C-alpha cells in the first residue's frame, strides 16, 4: 500500500490533475465526506488528509510514504525529507507587508529594530538575519493582517497571492522574500522498501509537471 498525505483545500484540488496524469482518481470528495483516509482507483494507493503543516511530520516519520506540502511549510519544518520535487502548484509568494504609513525602507536603512509578526518565524528569522536587520519576532497562528493595524507589530511576513487580503486591510507589500510552490516529499525508508511503485509514481508526477510547464 502506498500512502499519500495531502491537505484539504488548494493542495488537494491542485494535486488532482497530477494524480489523474498518474492514472489515479480519488474515490471521495473531502469537502463532502468526513473520512480522513480516502481510497483511489488504484487499490494500492490511498490518500490521508492531514493539516497542511502536518504533512512533513507524517512523511518524515512514515505515517505516509509521500506527501505534498508548500515550500513555506517545508522550510518551517526543517530538513529530514528526501529530495523534494517542485510540483509548481499552489503558487504564491512570501512577502513583508506593512501599513502604508510605515516607512519600511528607512527603518531598514537606519538599522531600527522592527517588530515583525508572523506564522513563519524560521523564514522571517533567516530573511532578516541575511539582511542584517534587527527584528523582534512575534509568533502568530493566523489573521496576521491584524498585527500592524492594532499596533502589535510594524510588519508581517505572510503568503501573498493576489494581494487582495492585504489591500482589504490597507496593508502594502514592501518586499518579496521568495516564491512559494508546493513540493512532493518522500519518506527515504519507504523509497527503499517500495522502490518500484514509488519511483513509478514520482516519475508520473514529474512528467505531469513537465507537460504542464
Residues 57-96 that bind ligand ATP (CB under 6 A): 70, 72-73, 90-92
Asked if 109 is part of the footprint of ligand ATP (rule: CB under 6 A), the reply reads no
Where does 61-170 have alpha helices with state H? 71-77, 104-109, 121-131, 146-150, 164-168
> Of the ranges 3-11, 40-48, 131-139, 192-200, which one interacts with ligand ATP (CB under 6 A)?
3-11
Asked if 56 is part of the footprint of ligand ATP (rule: CB under 6 A), the reply reads no
> Of the ranges 8-16, 41-49, 121-129, 145-153, which one interacts with ligand ATP (CB under 6 A)?
8-16
Contact 138, 152 (CB under 8 A): yes
- Rounded to a whole number of angstroms, the minimum distance from the CB of residue 14 to ligand ATP is 8
Asked if 9 is part of the footprint of ligand ATP (rule: CB under 6 A), the reply reads yes
Counted residue by residue, the chain has a size of 213
Distances (CA, A) of 142 to 8, 55, 62, 97: 17, 18, 28, 15
- Which residue from 33, 41, 143, 161 is in contact with ligand ATP, where contact means CB under 6 A? 161
Task: Give SS3 for 207.
Answer: helix
Distances (CA, A) of 136 to 43, 115, 131, 166: 50, 5, 14, 22
Asked if 143 is part of the footprint of ligand ATP (rule: CB under 6 A), the reply reads no
- Which residue from 3, 7, 60, 118 is in contact with ligand ATP, where contact means CB under 6 A? 7
Say if strands 114-118 and 155-160 run parallel, antiparallel, or are unpaired.
parallel
- Rounded to a whole number of angstroms, the minimum distance from the CB of residue 166 to ligand ATP is 11
The answer for residues whose C-beta is within 8 angstroms of residue 25's C-beta and 6 or more apart is 19, 40, 41
Give the residue with the Cβ less far from ligand ATP, 120 or 133.
120
> Of the ranges 31-39, 48-56, 122-130, 170-178, which one interacts with ligand ATP (CB under 6 A)?
48-56
Instruction: Count residues binding ligand ATP (CB under 6 A).
Output: 17
Cell of 181: 510552490
Asked if 10 is part of the footprint of ligand ATP (rule: CB under 6 A), the reply reads yes
Asked if 180 is part of the footprint of ligand ATP (rule: CB under 6 A), the reply reads yes
The dihedral through the CA atoms of 106, 112, 116, 122 has a sign that is positive
Query: Site residues (CB under 6 A) for ligand ATP?
Result: 7, 9-11, 51-53, 70, 72-73, 90-92, 159, 161, 180, 182
Amino acid at each position: 500500500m502506498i500512502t499519500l498525505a495531502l491537505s484539504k483545500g488548494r493542495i488537494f484540488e491542485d494535486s488532482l490533475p497530477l494524480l489523474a496524469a498518474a492514472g489515479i482518481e480519488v474515490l471521495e470528495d473531502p469537502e463532502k465526506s468526513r473520512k480522513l483516509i480516502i481510497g483511489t482507483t488504484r487499490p494500492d494507493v490511498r490518500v490521508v488528509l492531514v493539516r497542511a503543516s502536518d504533512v512533513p511530520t507524517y512523511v518524515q516519520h512514515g505515517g505516509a510514504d509521500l506527501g505534498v506540502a508548500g515550500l513555506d511549510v517545508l522550510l518551517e519544518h526543517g530538513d529530514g525529507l528526501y529530495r523534494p520535487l517542485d510540483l509548481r502548484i499552489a503558487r504564491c509568494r512570501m512577502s513583508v507587508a506593512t501599513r502604508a504609513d510605515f516607512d519600511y525602507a528607512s527603518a531598514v536603512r537606519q538599522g531600527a529594530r522592527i517588530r515583525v509578526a508572523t506564522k513563519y518565524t524560521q523564514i522571517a528569522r533567516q530573511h532578516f538575519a541575511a539582511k542584517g536587520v534587527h527584528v523582534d519576532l512575534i509568533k502568530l497562528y493566523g489573521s496576521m493582517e491584524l498585527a500592524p493595524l492594532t499596533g502589535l507589530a510594524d510588519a508581517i511576513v505572510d503568503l501573498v497571492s493576489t494581494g487582495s487580503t492585504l489591500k482589504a486591510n490597507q496593508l502594502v507589500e514592501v518586499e518579496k522574500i521568495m516564491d512559494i510552490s508546493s513540493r512532493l516529499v518522500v519518506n527515504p525508508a519507504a523509497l527503499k522498501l517500495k522502490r518500484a511503485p514509488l519511483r513509478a509514481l514520482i516519475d508520473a508526477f514529474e512528467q505531469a509537471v513537465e507537460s504542464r510547464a
